[in-house]
């Protein structure tokens, strides 16, 4: 198997990707929590222990050298935006659904 990997063309693009990763993964966890596709206790446990503490906080407090502290901070900021981003996405999806349903009624 051949896998192609492209690095970001600039630091700004890398920062954007890392912030978006934090936000999107947070949205995914919120979705799992709300839809109960995974036990809620498992989602909460994973969020608090694995993602927030073991990944984000450890990288911020004791960087290993592999991931610069500022990138961990950027991911954490993206994560903190995820509840608002998730809500905005749900509102947008509801508007699209409503438009689609009204088009189908008029046909």
Q: What is the pLDDT of residue 107?
A: 63
Q: Name the pTM for this structure.
A: 0.80
**In this model, does residue 105 exceed pLDDT 80?**
no
Helix then strand count (H, E) for the chain reads 4, 0
Identify whether 26 is part of a domain: yes
Identify whether 77 is part of a domain: yes
Q: What is the largest CA-CA distance in the chain?
A: 61
- Number of compact structural domains in the chain: 1
Range of 42's domain? Answer: 13-105
C-alpha dihedral (10, 14, 19, 20), degrees to nearest 10: 100
CA distances from 89 to 1, 44, 81, 84, 95 (A): 35, 21, 12, 9, 10
Q: What is the pLDDT of residue 34?
A: 95
Identify whether 3 is part of a domain: no
**pLDDT tens column, 7-19:** 788 999 999 999 9
**pLDDT tens column, 28-64:** 999 999 999 999 999 999 999 999 988 888 888 887 7
How far is the C-alpha of 76 from the C-alpha of 57, rounded, in Å?
Answer: 9
Cβ atoms within 10 Å, residue 75: 26
Q: What is the pLDDT of residue 76?
A: 94
Identify whether 5 is part of a domain: no
Identify whether 68 is part of a domain: yes
How far is the C-alpha of 25 from the C-alpha of 75, rounded, in Å?
Answer: 10
Rounded mean pLDDT of the chain? 90
């Amino acid at each position: 198997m051949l896998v192609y990997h492209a690095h970001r063309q600039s630091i700004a693009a890398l920062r954007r990707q890392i912030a978006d990763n934090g936000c999107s993964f947070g949205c995914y966890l919120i979705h799992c929590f709300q839809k109960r596709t995974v036990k809620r206790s498992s989602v909460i446990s994973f969020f608090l222990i694995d993602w927030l503490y073991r990944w984000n906080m450890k990288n911020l407090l004791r960087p290993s050298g592999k991931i610069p502290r500022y990138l961990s901070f950027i991911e954490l900021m993206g994560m903190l935006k995820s509840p608002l981003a998730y809500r905005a996405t749900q509102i947008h999806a509801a508007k699209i659904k409503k438009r689609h349903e009204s088009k189908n009624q008029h046909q």
